[in-house]
Each structure stands twice: as structure tokens, then as C-alpha cells.
Amino acid sequence: MMTASRRKALLLAGAAFVFLGGAAASAQEATEETTGTVAEETAADQARPTEAVQSEHAARRTWYLGGKPTATNAGRMSSAPALGAPRTISPAPYVPVGSVTAAAPMAGEAQVVTPPVAEGTGLQAPAETVVPMDGVPIEEGALNDLDPSTVAATSEGLPSGFFTGLSRAAYVSILDSLPSPSGSRLLGSIASRLALSGPVLPAPENDQSMQAVVKSRLDLLARAGDGEGFARLFENLPKGQAWPMLAHEAADAHLLAGRVAEACNVADTQRANTGDPYWIRLLAFCSAVDGNRDAVRFQMGILEELTDVGAEVHQMIERILVASEQARAAGGASAPVPPAPVALEGKLKVDVLDVTMAGLAAVDIGELTTEEIDPLAVGPALAIQTLSRDAKFDLVSLAVTQGWVNDRTLAAFLGGQAFTEAELAAAMDDGTEENDSFVIDAALAHIAVTNGDAGARQAALAKLWARAVRLGHVAVMGGALAHMGLDVDPANANSAVAGPVIRSLLLAGQTETVAAYFRTLRDNMTGPTDEALLTEVWPLMLVAGMPDVPGPEAGPLPSWWSTQGTDDRRYARAGLLFSLLEALGESVPDAAWSSLEEGPVALEQSATAPAVWRRLLLASSAGDRPLVLSNGYRIVAESGLADVSPAPSGSVVQTLRRAGFEGEARQLALEILIAQGL
């Protein structure tokens, strides 16, 4: 047991430790204060009485940790070497002064003496050389004023400086002037590239100017039927930016992507600002999706007061509403399921909203309206499972002619069709000029690609090719056949199908396959028929820019002329070919031109407006690439591949080449020639 005396001793020891700890914290401070005043205190002590000094020293004690410093320790500290003044604060290796000798000038060179820099003048940094990228001048502060209307949505667009120098109004005017591609694979590609490329334009004057640019880009994609590009451009727009002028385009983009709720939000905002019946119809659809019958009645009542509402709209909205009500009654455990399919009461309008409603309502659709077709809705309409096959074929036929679908889309559609043996036999027997049904074209394409008998494939391909030329969709159909997988084995070729095979491959841009196919045919020629075939396709391969193809002067031009038969159309075909060859830089002999003077003077093709043609030539002379591209596009698209005449065709191809579009010029010349029967 601890005694009281022992407990007291421990308490005193603890206090001593606390005291020493505090002394330790202030020991250095006490030492520094004492050191500075030792001399003064010593002198003062010597002047005072000895008893007083001793008494004061006894009262004042200084505590040291580690022992009191001795005279020996103090002597060591005071005898440390002096460091001296600093020489420099810059890190550098030690180099003795005078150890570096300047290099002597080379033999024959004068000594260059650098004058000393005057004190206070400083050094002037050389001016930076700013090199613009792609010829686009760099403007100070550009990052602070980014223009969201010029955002790019493709990696294969036109050069960033292509539109440099154009005003925003001129850019909008160019895009708005372009019609649908009119059955041209190339023009459809140009339209998409123009709209998806990010133009370099002056800063927008206001929000309306900025939104007008985006609207023109989206509208061009819609006219071309490029739903994928339309959605991609819309998705690339800044999400925090308000686009009131693009409300309809925003609703279409959301519906195409299946975002019904977002489309309904747009409709809510627009309904508060406008009485456009479109927004009321969209809100009625939104209320049906929500299962709100009272709201549906309210919206439909207003809609009927503003415009005629077809029975098919009432029917689709009612079926969507019933399915949503049933899902709500079930606690929302499953997605709304429409009742059993029934026939649609009337024709379905081909626009994005009606096609979306038809897909949710699950109605059997027998017919489509042919008026006011929205090209953006063509793809979704073809995807509706309950759309009749005849209606699909009618829509595809129109879409191919207008250029709303490209060759790959058509190939995918044709490859997904199934036919009975009776339908295939009927297509072979009824593929006449009197029957323009696209069902026959689809069945013939099926035979030409999938039939196991080479003779059947050849017969179907020959008949299909003649129909495609006559009906005006050969540029898209030819490319589609190449993508579907035509028989490219030269061993199975004959004079009737080798020509269509080569033309299809050229239209699809598969030049390497064409070269191998052509070489095999040439190496295995067995008679005049094979030689005539190779002569027939020679100019097309020359136009396509394939290597090792002889030009008109050294090539088989006279032999080609002899393969054109005796009808009067041969003069028009030859005149078109000669015009395009010279536009591509080839030289056609005068004798060949002279032989065409025996033909008709007047041509059957449509005439080109002189003002547009003149504008094309002026734009080429001025080096105005955007106007060259847009006016050339207009001439071909509005005339049609099969009807554009030789002189304007040559001008368009030549000006495109001068503007740097060599590949596009050759592809366009190829499409025109094949569409007009070469």
C-alpha cells in the first residue's frame, strides 16, 4: 500500500517534470535573449557594489537543458569559418573565370561583335508567327464565343475552311436551295456531307441568326432522308442551349429516338406559345401514352375545332390509350400492350408522329398516303411489322426515285424480303414495261443474287437491269445489287450479265473487284462477243479513273461506236460520253466528233435554266467552291440523272474537277452515263 509520504514524493516529482518541460520549450529563447546582453550586463556589474551583484545573481537563475555551456563549446562555435557574400542564386556548374575561350570565326568569315545591351532596355522577344490551320485565320477571343450552330457531326465532312468568306445568310441560302438527291447515290452523299460538316462562319448577330443555320442543316438532312445524320447532328448540339426555332425538329428527333417523354415536354412548351394543330395532336398522343382519358378528350376536342381529324388518328390514339389504361390498372408491372391488331381505318400519313403512333397502336396498315411524305419517316415506316408488303414496296419505289434511301439501305431492305415460288415465277414472266410494280424488281433481285442456277441468275439480272434503267433508279439499284453479293465469278459470266455486273460494281465503288473481273474476262476471251462486251464497258472504266485503261485517242473508240447499234439515240449517248470525257481531261479526236454531226440537232433531254448554268460558270471562274458545288448539285438533281443534257453535264463535271472534287466528278459522270443507257 502506498503511504502518504510516498504519494507526496510522486506528486512533487510530477510537478518537477512539468516545470522542466516548460523550461525546455523556452530554453532556446532564454539563451538568445541572454547572449545579446552579456556584454552590457558585465560592464554594469563591474560598476556596481560586489554585495549587490552577488545578491541579484543569487535571486536570478537560468535553467539549461543538457548542461550549462562551457567556455570550450562557446569557443568552437565562435571559430566557425565565414560563408561570405552569395555569388549567385542561379543553379550552375562551377566554371572558373577565364577558363572558357570564345570560338574563333571560320576561315573567310568576319568577326561578329555583339554590341552590349544598354542598361534598362531589356530584351525584346521576337514576334510569334501564327500559322492558321486549313487556311482559317485565328481570331483572338474565339474560344470565348463558340458558335454552337457550326458544330460538326461527321469525321468525313468537307474541309473546315470550305465555307470561309461566306456570310451566314449566304450559307443558309445555299443549303435551302438544294432539293432532294433525285435518285443519285452521289448527290445524297454530298447533301449529308454539306449538312454535317462544321462550317466556319462569321459570329451570329443574334440567336435567330444562329438557329437559322442549324435549321437549314437539319432541313437538308430531312430532304435527303438521312435520319441517322439528322439524329446525330441534333445530339451534337449543346444541351444547355435554347432552340425555340427548332421545336418541330427537336420533337422529330426525340420521336425517332424513341424518347416520347422528351417530345411531350417540347409540345407542352410550344402549346403555351402557339395554336399550331401539330402540337395539340402530339399532346393528345402524349396523354394517351400516359393513360389520361380526360386529357385526351380535351386535346382531341380542341384539335377537331381547328382541323379535320381522320378516323385513323382517332383509332390509333384510342388503342394506345386503352393499352395504357390496362397497364395502369395492372399496377404498371408491364409495358402497355395494345389489343389484338385490327385494320387501320384509312391511309397512314407518312410523317414521324403518325408513324410513331402506328407503331405503338399495332394496327394493320394496308395503304399509305402519297402526299406530303416526310423523308425522315420513310425508314421508320418500313420498319413497321404490320405495314403491308405492297405498301412497303410502293414506298420504297418512290424513295429510291427521290433519293430518300441509299444503296446500302435498299440492299438491306431487299435482302430481308421473302417470296413464294409462284411470285418468283410471275416476276420472270411479268417483268414487262407495262408492269412498274417494285415487287417485280425485288423478286428479280432475289433471283439474281440467291438462285442456285447460274442461268436463272443471269436472266433475272438482265431483266432487272433493263427495268432499273427505264424506271430511273439504276444508280441506287446497281449499288444495292453489288452490296447484296452479285455473282462475280467470271466463269459464270456471259455477254448479257457481265455488263450489269461491272456497272453495279463501279456504282458501288468496288473498283478492285472490277479490275480483277475485267482482267479475267479479257484473258479468257473466246470470240467477237466477248470482245464486244469489253469494248462496251471500256469508256465506263475510263471515266471511273481506273488505272491502265487507254484513253480515247489510243483506245477502242471506233470499236465502241460500232457497238451502239443503229437507233438515233446512239448520237445522244455518244455526245454525252464525249462531253464528259473532255470534261475529265481526256481528248476526243475530231473525227469522232465529226461523226456525230450526222445525227439529230435537237436533243430530247430537259433544258437547263440559263441563269443557273451561268451562275455555275461564274462561280468556277471566281473560285467560289460552295457555289460550284451547290449549283452543280441543283442542275443534276432538278434535271434528273436520266434527263440532264450533255452540255450542262460536262460543265458540272468540269467545274467540280476544277474545284478539287475529282472523285465526285468521276462518280457523277459515271451515274449520268449509266442512267442514260451506257
pLDDT digits (tens, 9 = 90+) for 119-129: 544 445 445 55
| Closest listed residue to residue 458, CA positions, set 483, 490, 426, 432 | 490
Is the pLDDT assigned to residue 337 strictly greater than 80?
no
Res 651: pLDDT: 95
On average, the pLDDT of the chain sits at: 81
- Rounded Cα distance, 592 and 562, in Å: 12
Place of cell 551583484: 53
Compute the C-alpha angle 48/54/57, nearest 5°: 105
Phi, psi of 191 (to 5 degrees): -60, -45
Q: For residue 101, name the pLDDT band (cuts at 50, 70, 90).
A: low
Is the pLDDT assigned to residue 364 strictly greater than 60?
yes
Which of these ranges, 12-21, 473-482, 590-599, 630-639, has the smallest mean pLDDT? 12-21
Greater confidence (353 vs 42) lies with 353
Is the pLDDT assigned to residue 631 strictly greater than 80?
yes
- Rounded Cα distance, 508 and 232, in Å: 25
User: Could you give the count of Cα atoms lying within 13 Å of 68 in the half-sphere of its Cβ?
Assistant: 5
Compute the C-alpha angle 149/152/155, nearest 5°: 175
Phi, psi of 364 (to 5 degrees): -80, 120
Compute the C-alpha angle 581/583/587, nearest 5°: 50
Mean pLDDT score, 162-178: 93
- Rounded Cα distance, 346 and 95, in Å: 99
DSSP 343: E
Res 673: pLDDT: 95
Res 537: pLDDT: 86
- The secondary structure of the chain in percent helix, strand, coil, rounded to multiples of 5, reads 60, 0, 40
- Rounded Cα distance, 617 and 609, in Å: 13
Pairing of strands 363-364, 342-343: parallel
Architecture of the CATH domain 147-331+342-364: Alpha Horseshoe (1.25)
Distance of CA 106 to the CA centre of its chain: 59
- Rounded Cα distance, 170 and 192, in Å: 18
154 within 8 A of 228, measured Cβ to Cβ: no
Q: Which residues lie below 8 Å from residue 471, measured CB to CB, with a gap of 6+?
A: 401, 436, 441
Res 328: pLDDT: 83
251 within 8 A of 282, measured Cβ to Cβ: yes
H or E, element range at 363: strand 363-364
- Rounded Cα distance, 244 and 250, in Å: 9
End-to-end CA distance of the chain: 124
Can you say whether the dihedral through the CA atoms of 603, 606, 612, 617 is positive or negative? negative
Q: For residue 528, name the pLDDT band (cuts at 50, 70, 90).
A: low
Q: For residue 650, name the pLDDT band (cuts at 50, 70, 90).
A: very high
Q: For residue 33, name the pLDDT band (cuts at 50, 70, 90).
A: very low
Sketch the domain layout of the chain as residue ranges. 147-331+342-364, 555-678
Greater confidence (502 vs 68) lies with 502
Which of these ranges, 124-128, 574-578, 648-652, has the smallest mean pLDDT? 124-128
Is the pLDDT assigned to residue 353 strictly greater than 50?
yes
Greater confidence (76 vs 500) lies with 500
Res 241: pLDDT: 76
Which of these ranges, 28-42, 106-120, 348-362, has the smallest mean pLDDT? 28-42
Q: For residue 497, name the pLDDT band (cuts at 50, 70, 90).
A: confident
Is the pLDDT assigned to residue 195 strictly greater than 60?
yes
Q: What is the 3-state secondary structure (H, E, C) of 583-607?
A: HCCCCCCHHHHHHHHHCCCCCCCEC
What's the one-letter identity of residue 31?
T
Is the pLDDT assigned to residue 170 strictly greater than 50?
yes
Res 103: pLDDT: 57
Res 74: pLDDT: 46
Summarised one tens digit per residue, pLDDT across range 9-23 is: 444 444 444 444 444
| Closest listed residue to residue 636, CA positions, set 187, 58, 69 | 187
Greater confidence (165 vs 432) lies with 165
| Closest listed residue to residue 536, CA positions, set 508, 501, 491, 567 | 501
C-alpha cell read off for 40: 552590457
Summarised one tens digit per residue, pLDDT across range 513-527 is: 888 888 887 777 666
What's the one-letter identity of residue 484?
M
Can you say whether the dihedral through the CA atoms of 446, 451, 453, 454 is positive or negative? positive
Res 251: pLDDT: 95
Q: Three-state SS for 8?
A: helix
What's the one-letter identity of residue 336?
P
Q: Three-state SS for 405?
A: coil
| Maximum Cα–Cα distance across the chain | 150
- The number of residues making up the chain comes to 678
Summarised one tens digit per residue, pLDDT across range 281-334 is: 999 999 999 999 999 999 999 999 999 999 999 999 999 999 998 888 877 655
Res 498: pLDDT: 84
190 within 8 A of 664, measured Cβ to Cβ: yes
- Rounded Cα distance, 379 and 154, in Å: 21
- Rounded Cα distance, 303 and 276, in Å: 9
| Closest listed residue to residue 410, CA positions, set 476, 466, 462 | 476
Res 659: pLDDT: 93
280 within 8 A of 302, measured Cβ to Cβ: yes
366 within 8 A of 385, measured Cβ to Cβ: no
Is the pLDDT assigned to residue 55 strictly greater than 70?
no
pTM as predicted: 0.75
Q: For residue 488, name the pLDDT band (cuts at 50, 70, 90).
A: confident
- Rounded Cα distance, 532 and 544, in Å: 20
- Rounded Cα distance, 203 and 182, in Å: 34
- Rounded Cα distance, 488 and 479, in Å: 14
Res 567: pLDDT: 76
